[in-house]
Chains A and B, each alone.
Chain A
């Protein structure tokens, strides 16, 4: 494992930034660390890089304690709040970081040219960073993070400040890194970029990991079934709880055939729309049998996996 943490904890006075974080990230994996602002994502990255000392717990990256100079030459990092010296040119900036990584002059020249081309800044090699737009600074930051051919890269909000095209390029870059066997720890609150790039995801909320697993695994257990039924008695509606949790329950605005000649007057044939959160789509046949057995008429029964965004929103709305 390239990253391993055990009960990692960080507090600032009475405020808990990270609570008992235990996770492991393997070689070549793209790991998404998702959470709203203030969830403890950046603090976690700082602890993994040795920039912040944990209050409790242990962490190891590349088999060594975070920040150990013996391994930091194989680690790349793009901070969330990347501040650049405005007086330096793009090429000199990369050259200085290459020197700090202990790279030889010839290698620095080769890598600088290759990375400037890779992030679309080849024609701005001799421009001062003070003249760069926010998106261009983010690109040079990415180049800096990849300069030393790292085995493990921490990207903290890498698409922040980028336009849609830039975001797309970053996603391609992350895929390339995965193809090269580089492990990527991606901190982000852009769910779409996590969804298309990450192998596994941890969702953090108020310093705690509340979901952890492969994307498919997380969403498999986050399925909704949309029902449109008529003739649902109150008892049958109560009985739905055995299959899952009713998320929404509303009139559909559609009317079914009248029953017993009373129909519209009693509302007995009103088609209701019910959305249920269930453990998986395999409950659908049993649920259909239950409703039929209870005398309800099924107009629709549609299982649907949640997108990562919907899962994220649901998790954020849950009480902890």
Chain B
């Protein structure tokens, strides 16, 4: 375990020394500031012109919460790929991995250490961004987001799925190919999520099945769909006021979440095995 923590520490140190951490923190603050200003202006305007009950006011608030979290969710996926796509593939290509792999540690410790370092940074970023956004909404509109912990957990899990696949790809593919493969898989899952949602609304069993099949191949988007479903107040759904481009008409089941956790663990295990047996 000592080796795992040393590699994780090295990964964190690299992110700090390369100023990646600062870039993420500063741009994250810029994102939240922009969101706060935009939400304040729009919410003030809507409240001044809103006609109807409290439920009608919740509809745009819910929309903006989901829009903001969806943007964070997308940033998390991008960060997961961009921070990890080169971490193993690049070091293999350059030969830099050779001095590390000849130290008294198992090769698996290198994979797990890098994964752990990146996963912790990704998780901290996700939690901080989501919590800050929810706090902005609470302070501005006195709106308490439903199921915040589960929703943030699911967004973190989505990031970890993408991160783990990227690390797995890096053990076999070049940096460029790895990036293309992971982004394309994410794209497939994204469009399959839409097919499933629209199929669900139109009661098309075939469309729903296609969406589920692709989700089994790449369960990342399903995590967002479930997070979005949990974030929405139930009565908005009952009143038919939940239709947003970012929300979910139906939620993937808890079994899908368990599947996603197992999927991530399996991908990491395969990454360890692949890296352990390949020539460096």
Contact = CB atoms under 8 A, between A and B. Distances in A.
A102 B98 CA distance: 17
Nearest to A47: B279
Given A79-B95, A82-B95, A53 B6 contact: no
Interface residues of A, number: 31
Contact of B102 (A75, A81, A83): A75
Interface in B8-66: 9-10, 13-14, 17-18
Contact of B94 (A75, A83, A96, A144): A83
A144 B105 CA distance: 16
A69 B105 contact: yes
A49 interface: yes
A46 interface: yes
Interface in A175-212: none
Contact of A77 (B3, B9, B98): B98
A18 to B, nearest CB: 13
Contact of A52 (B13, B14, B280): B280
Nearest to B100: A100
A102 B5 CA distance: 12
Contacts of A79: 95, 98-99
B103 A72 contact: yes
A69 B104 contact: yes
Interface string B76-97: 0000000000000000001110
A70 B94 CA distance: 27
A53 B17 CA distance: 34
Nearest to A93: B99
B270 interface: no
B102 A87 contact: no
B104 A88 contact: no
A70 B102 contact: no
Interface in A40-82: 46, 49-53, 67, 69-73, 75, 77, 79, 81-82
A41 to B, nearest CB: 15
Given A70-B104, A88-B17, A100-B6, A144 B99 contact: yes
Nearest to B91: A83
A285 interface: no
A125 interface: no
Given A46-B280, A87-B17, A100 B105 contact: yes
Nearest to B110: A100
A315 interface: no
A299 interface: no
Contacts of A53: 277, 279
Contacts of B106: 69
Task: State the main secondary structure of chain A at its contact with B.
Answer: loop
A53 B278 CA distance: 8
B101 interface: yes
Nearest to A80: B95
Given A46-B279, A83-B94, A88-B17, A101 B103 contact: yes
Given A83-B95, A100-B3, A100-B6, A52 B102 contact: no
Nearest to A141: B99
Nearest to B6: A99
A3 B17 CA distance: 39
A102 B104 contact: yes
A70 B104 CA distance: 7
A81 B105 contact: no
A97 interface: yes
Most chain B CB within 10 A, of A75, A81, A83, A84, is at A83
A2 B114 CA distance: 32
A53 B279 CA distance: 6
Contacts of B104: 69-73, 100-102
B14 A83 contact: no
Nearest to B10: A96
A72 B103 CA distance: 6
Interface string A306-319: 00000000000000
A50 B17 contact: no
Contacts of B94: 81, 83
A85 interface: yes
B107 to A, nearest CB: 8
Contacts of B96: 83-85
Interface in A126-182: 141, 144
B102 A49 contact: yes
A51 B95 CA distance: 11
Nearest to B101: A51
Interface of A: 46, 49-53, 67, 69-73, 75, 77, 79, 81-85, 87-88, 92, 96-97, 99-102, 141, 144
**What are the 7 closest A-B residue pairs judged by CB atoms, nearest first?**
A73-B104, A100-B103, A52-B279, A83-B96, A72-B104, A83-B94, A87-B17
21 contacts: A49-B102, A52-B279, A53-B279, A69-B104, A72-B103, A72-B104, A73-B104, A77-B98, A79-B99, A82-B95, A82-B99, A83-B95, A84-B96, A85-B14, A87-B18, A92-B13, A100-B6, A100-B7, A100-B103, A102-B104, A144-B99
